[in-house]
Amino acid sequence: MQDIIDFLTSTNIMDLATDPRVLFFTFVVFVVAVLRRWTFVLLLLFAIGGILAVVRYTNPSMGTEGVDQQMVFFVGGILVVAIVTIYFLFIRGD
């Protein structure tokens, strides 16, 4: 258990998102959620994955060059994730 805690505290989020063990665990949770039809778990996985993809694509460490385009993509991507999540949680009935 101590090894898991040390691993989680010593990595950053982008390294953790690309770790094979985390990706395998996420895939297993995704398959179980699809088979059991757990809508909230699927939406949570979508939201986390979408936000990580947007943050990774915008790459804020590139400097000031192209900040406007990156900001538009960042805001647009987060809005798409939020709209899809809100639609499935509140508008679309089961």
Report residue 52 as tokens: 């990580």
Question: What is the model's pLDDT at position 55?
Answer: 76
pLDDT-flagged residues of the chain (< 50) = none
The 10s digit of each residue's pLDDT in 33-44 is 999 988 889 998
Question: What is the model's pLDDT at position 86?
Answer: 87
Half-sphere exposure of 15 (CA within 13 A, CB side): 6
Place of tokens 């179980």: 32
For the chain, count helices (H), then strands (E).
Answer: 5, 0
Question: What is the model's pLDDT at position 17?
Answer: 78
